[in-house]
Structure 1
């Protein structure tokens, strides 16, 4: 999700003993193969099994990304389960690398939060699980057996430091101008990170391309690079605060978090087609804490966690269902607003095709 380089050998999660993880549930239940809470005997039994394990390993969840800091704290407070958070700035691809490297170890990730392209390329790493609110999640937002499920989306936006950039961008091509020399960054490598992938997607749909044709988006960043405006630095709170990355393509909820931390940071949604893409929850097939992993999914798809996404400016997948049930945080919803009418988001097939195109053409375009 973030894009700091990851040395897998240095990954460190607070270790839990194998015996503790193995005794996660009653002898009649294999938590690793449970596909819903009923397999445990209901939610109370799932909670008990997860508490017996006592820990959950998460990865690539920065505190200021879609409110994950508060979501983790709320999970810990509700269930009394320790949450070990590794490599918060890792990319989606690095999550999978970590899971592969740590397979069979107590420190391996239990759950993932992944961009679409990486999700679709790694379904063999996931265990199917259907949360209790499964029927409220639209069919288009989930894999039919529960291998992956959309959790939230934002709008791809442009954040900029108004103390450094005096001319606010009002259209995509503005960023090709001399005012943006050496200033424009994206959140990672689009062949690995969901936010960077979406930056190219936004450029595509605003440059004559479409969800079926990302090439105009690649061409735009090639022009940005040739103009000397593209900055191959992964933005972090430090680079944003210092002004090193003065303009950043990123999700609206991330740029809003930067605005809260950095004086003068502003966020704009460019006019025209708005681009979004849901991230995906998945349970690791190799989860060392399989009951806690499934309880985490239940919590993520509860109104409590979905409203915490909303409070950070991310649109949760259960928003329509919560509106109907009267469980939406209306204060948060009023602050965030509604999804624009011109919003587009790629399907699984479109994401896979775009990922293949980026793998083939991105490195050459920006060299």
Structure 2
């Protein structure tokens, strides 16, 4: 499952976001204009006065948003609501609703971050813990900041799969025909990162995903790809034998299903990618003080620990997490094959080309 389980007509990618017409910095019908000082902290009184925080693409089942929002809203005495959608859809909604803004914040794949800034649909803010975030994981002016990382893994239902695959090479075997679910390559950061992970396993990188396209073409022609939604409900019903997804989703879904012993979470031994999701504030946020307060909370020790409770790896490495929380994550030794994306500007451009490349080079 990605950050939406619904079939939608909008198929925006990072490239589509990059091509948005530049928006003015003015707000016509409410909302906010970004402050020139990106470190002005919201007061509790201002947040309480706004009374609400609205998010896009931050559903209960993704990392630990349910617990995080519960703690945050309790602290300030405000309410929260979310509408589940993909990264591209979040930014498109920010733009479409600029004259009557609804959402304050979003959580998007880092491949969409540069486009978000270029299209002027996000505003800058440097949270209280800005200096603790690695330089690669934040926009230098504060337009986006990575909250957590994820690595592409396999979630394997052992009751349906006799031999648990350990590598991308394994997934090409005939014994996995009709078993591998990869999600929607047309619009989801998770699926597109799976393509990059496979490309890296075969010598590619963010500038060269042809090895990944060639790999998935082989898998498609072999009939190993199963075209179903990789929702937790489908996984639980046994419709998803093998799922390619973020590690935090794999671990979380296994926990939700309630039988850890029935599922293996495997970091592919021949290569995978580690990427990040970033927090953004709508340029037209109707509750800008609540949005900034939420970022301060999210990057605090408490917020980062709650992210780990949702099986994601916090972006801050100087948080002293309790042992029982740290044990929820896979051991560091499992990630020997994982590589960070070196150039996110390049990946933004490349990921924007994936929908067409997928249709023309894999599905054709």
Normalising by the smaller structure, the TM-score range is 0.7 to 0.9
Structure 1 residue 60 corresponds to structure 2 residue 61 = no
Which aligned pairs between 1:261-300 and structure 2 lie closer than 5 A? 261-262=256-257, 263=259, 264-300=262-298
Q: Indicate if the aligned counterparts of 1:35 and 1:130 stay in contact, CA closer than 8 A.
A: no
Q: Indicate if the aligned counterparts of 1:110 and 1:288 stay in contact, CA closer than 8 A.
A: yes
Mapped to 2, the partners of 1:170 and 1:159 lie a distance apart of: 11
TM-score by length of 1: 0.85
Per-residue deviation, 1:96: 1.8
Per-residue deviation, 1:103: 2.5
Equivalent residue, structure 1, for 2:169: 173
Q: Indicate if the aligned counterparts of 1:310 and 1:332 stay in contact, CA closer than 8 A.
A: yes
Pair 1:330–1:270, CA change in 2 (3 A): same
Q: Which has the higher contact order (CA 8 A, sep 6+)?
A: 2
Equivalent residue, structure 2, for 1:198: 193
Instruction: Give the length in aligned residue pairs.
Output: 336
Cα deviation, 1:191-248, whole Å, max 9, x if unaligned, reads 4211111111111111222233111111111111111111232311111111222211
Q: Indicate if the aligned counterparts of 2:126 and 2:142 stay in contact, CA closer than 8 A.
A: yes
Equivalent residue, structure 2, for 1:27: none
Instruction: Name the stretch that deviates more: 125-134 or 206-215.
Output: 206-215
Pair 1:199–1:270, CA change in 2 (3 A): same
Cα deviation, 1:243-300, whole Å, max 9, x if unaligned, reads 2222110111111112123342321111133311011111100111111111111111
Structure with a larger share of its residues in helix: 1
Mapped to 1, the partners of 2:80 and 2:71 lie a distance apart of: 11
Of 94, 101, 104, which aligns to 2:89? 94
Per-residue deviation, 1:35: 4.1
Mapped to 2, the partners of 1:302 and 1:341 lie a distance apart of: 28
Pair 1:198–1:91, CA change in 2 (3 A): same
Q: Which runs of 4+ in 1 moved over 4 A?
A: 6-9
Cα deviation, 1:149-177, whole Å, max 9, x if unaligned, reads 11101221000111111121022122122
Pair 1:35–1:266, CA change in 2 (3 A): farther
TM-score by length of 2: 0.85
Which aligned pairs between 1:135-284 and structure 2 lie closer than 5 A? 135-189=131-185, 191-262=186-257, 263=259, 264-284=262-282
